[in-house]
A and B are shown apart, each in its own frame.
Chain A
């Protein structure tokens, strides 16, 4: 480090001077960059099969870079998969780079202007619109990933990565939310079955709640953390269950307030903390910790939690049940998907397509379930008896058919608005109706801004 630094320092200062002058003047070099990459993209996508064939014949070695977030079991599996892939494709070397989960989005984005970029990138589906509208990604080549194929094989929730008629990313695995319930605490409260309806959930959580003489929680009936999974539960669970609708067909309008269902669902969610007082934010640090340590009887959480529960709380006696339903059934789902950045062309593009096809293959999806605990994204793979009959995986998979994945235009922004609305009621005693109306208006504004930007382009 010392050495690098000594060499670069004088150069850096010089370069910095010239750069600042150049930067103030304008960005000619950047513009040419863009025009070349956008010109190259369609050319490359029109005939990938030919080029794929050509490149596998040639002995030229290609190295591609794969970026994903840091999650021990996932990193280990990807390393294993890379080995398998490289054995099948001796010409291709895959390099994996990891970023911390919490800051993944900005770490990735901040590297892009520096000219560093991956060839295949793992992104949360809710970030896709932003990445697509800023021109960072290219659509998945039709030849490698035919649209009809995707729509046939995958669960309909992957529709969230279809923007402007093309798919921009494809997942290996998906996740749904379900009820995690502590069996010991259920036995203690004499409850035989996990709750199946909205009403039962309220009744059970009240019965399960335990407080000490100082009115402090000993056991939360329902762990309640709006910023964790509850906002998903609202959008894709409670709201449709109550008969409401999330988004208009063209994804431009928030329809929460168009039927009474929106407010009803919002009120239902808030009542747990405000009216029934069966749980609240921040107790036992957070919902997951509360559940892990036996301080929460029920938690609404995702299939991705199975892995960490197994390692951190191996003795916890818990079960999984589908989300309680009301007028209909619905469960929130989400996924991390792999995409190819716009600048990837030529041999690298071919190698990236191959790697992506490998990552979404049946075999890999199966390994993924075993090692990471996430659900296969393809129906045929997920509905194998082995998984359906699994006590923990089964309930998650059975919900996939009626699951929904909200089309986020700004995942953090929308979540923040939801948490703020809930906190307004909880902490500032704002009436629920007002908080809800504000929430819808502010979320709508996010959408309006996004579409105004997109329409301008």
Chain B
């Protein structure tokens, strides 16, 4: 009797011990097993391709021929001698510089308008959001047609007795048209992000400032903006990346990034180098440059917007 109970007890003890051990290993097994496929996947589809781009960027390779001789930095030199490439860098920079503040300002403005509105709030939010979920290609063709010399917009302008505008036909106006159409498409998204941020600001801050006699503009400047800082950072990064990677707009709204390369972006130029000129080496070199820019851009934004603001 005694022996059997002790034995049973001992058995139970060892069982629970092995269970616990089992449980730990099982847990780690589960964790690493679950993570292994996704990690491998990201290595293969994100990290390795970047390394591969670096490799190809030092080689001369037209897609049709089988050889890829090593040429050192020639592709990079070639790019900086290439007027269209320099232009595309400049344009991309322009889109970022004009586009980010544009998106943020319009998005924040819309959010502030909608902030305390109760009636039809959901309606506005939904409508503003529609462009964000529609295909850029379809929308771009609509814009292209609306903005034609004989298009609807020029029709209205002429009816007002003003001179017709060239819009996408003019190297001066076309970049703004592209930047604006991207703002149009992102307002809903930016507004939503800002609305979430605004809701996170405790009401008492505003009430306290109100009692202290601060006017609306001051309250916006000294309370809303600083407290929105993390949201602004997030939005700016998202907006910036959307401009750095703009491609579909250029393909659909312009004639080959024109007129006079005024709308050509870096990504479009990469596409042209690779698939129209079949110059994979230069295209890869341009990709590496884009990578460096995106990295620098992200770090810079983190630094600029993460500064602590003292009161």
Contacts and interface: CB of A to CB of B under 8 A. Distances in A.
Direct contact of A and B (CB under 8 A): yes
Interface of A: 13, 16-17, 20, 23-24, 27, 30-31, 33-34, 105-106, 109-110, 112-113, 130-131, 134-136, 214, 216, 227, 281-285, 410, 412-413, 416, 419-420, 423-424, 427-428
B64 A136 contact: yes
B62 interface: yes
Contacts of A16: 44-45, 48
B260 A428 contact: yes
B170 interface: yes
B150 A285 contact: yes
Contacts of A428: 171, 260
B52 interface: yes
B197 interface: no
A136 B64 CA distance: 7
Contacts of A106: 275-276, 278
Contacts of A135: 64-65
Nearest to A285: B148
B275 A13 contact: no
10 contacts: A20-B51, A31-B67, A106-B276, A109-B63, A109-B278, A134-B65, A136-B65, A216-B150, A216-B158, A285-B148
Contacts of B226: none
A216 B259 contact: no
B158 A105 contact: no
A395 to B, nearest CB: 30
B261 to A, nearest CB: 8
Contacts of B164: 214, 216
- Which size bracket describes the interface of B in this complex? 20 to 34
Contacts of B258: 419-420, 423
**Would you call the interface of chain A mostly helix, strand, loop, or mixed?**
helix
A110 B66 contact: no
**Would you call the interface of chain B mostly helix, strand, loop, or mixed?**
loop
Given A24-B52, A283-B150, A285-B150, A131 B259 contact: no
Interface of B: 40-41, 44-45, 48, 51-52, 55, 62-68, 148-150, 158, 164, 166, 169-171, 255-256, 258-261, 275-278
Which of A16, A30, A227 has the most chain B CB atoms closer than 10 A to its own CB? A16
A192 to B, nearest CB: 30
A427 B64 contact: no
A416 B256 contact: yes
Contacts, number: 91
A412 B277 CA distance: 9
Contacts of A285: 148, 150
B116 to A, nearest CB: 45
B260 A420 contact: yes
A294 B169 CA distance: 22
A34 B148 contact: no
A33 B171 CA distance: 47
A322 B275 CA distance: 37
A227 B255 contact: yes
A32 to B, nearest CB: 9
A427 B259 CA distance: 9
A136 B277 CA distance: 15
A27 B67 CA distance: 8
A13 B44 contact: yes
A227 B278 CA distance: 22
A113 B63 contact: yes
Contact of B62 (A134, A284, A413, A424): A134
Given A17-B44, A285-B148, A30 B260 contact: no
A282 B256 contact: no
A454 B259 CA distance: 32
B6 to A, nearest CB: 51
Contact of A284 (B40, B64, B150): B150
A131 B64 contact: yes
B169 A282 contact: yes
Contacts of B259: 423, 427
B259 to A, nearest CB: 5
Contact of B66 (A31, A214, A412, A420): A31
A17 B52 CA distance: 12
Given A24-B55, A427-B171, A134 B150 contact: no
A454 B267 CA distance: 29
Given A113-B64, A282-B148, A283-B149, 19 more contacts: A16-B44, A20-B52, A24-B51, A27-B66, A34-B67, A106-B276, A109-B278, A110-B63, A130-B64, A134-B62, A134-B65, A136-B65, A285-B150, A416-B256, A420-B260, A423-B171, A427-B169, A427-B260, A428-B260
Nearest to A214: B158
Given A216-B158, A285-B150, A105 B66 contact: no
Contacts of B55: 23-24
A21 B150 CA distance: 55
Contact of B260 (A31, A109, A424): A424
A410 B276 CA distance: 10
A20 B169 contact: no
A17 B42 CA distance: 12
A214 B260 CA distance: 28
B236 to A, nearest CB: 33
Contacts of B261: 420
Nearest to B260: A423
A206 to B, nearest CB: 20
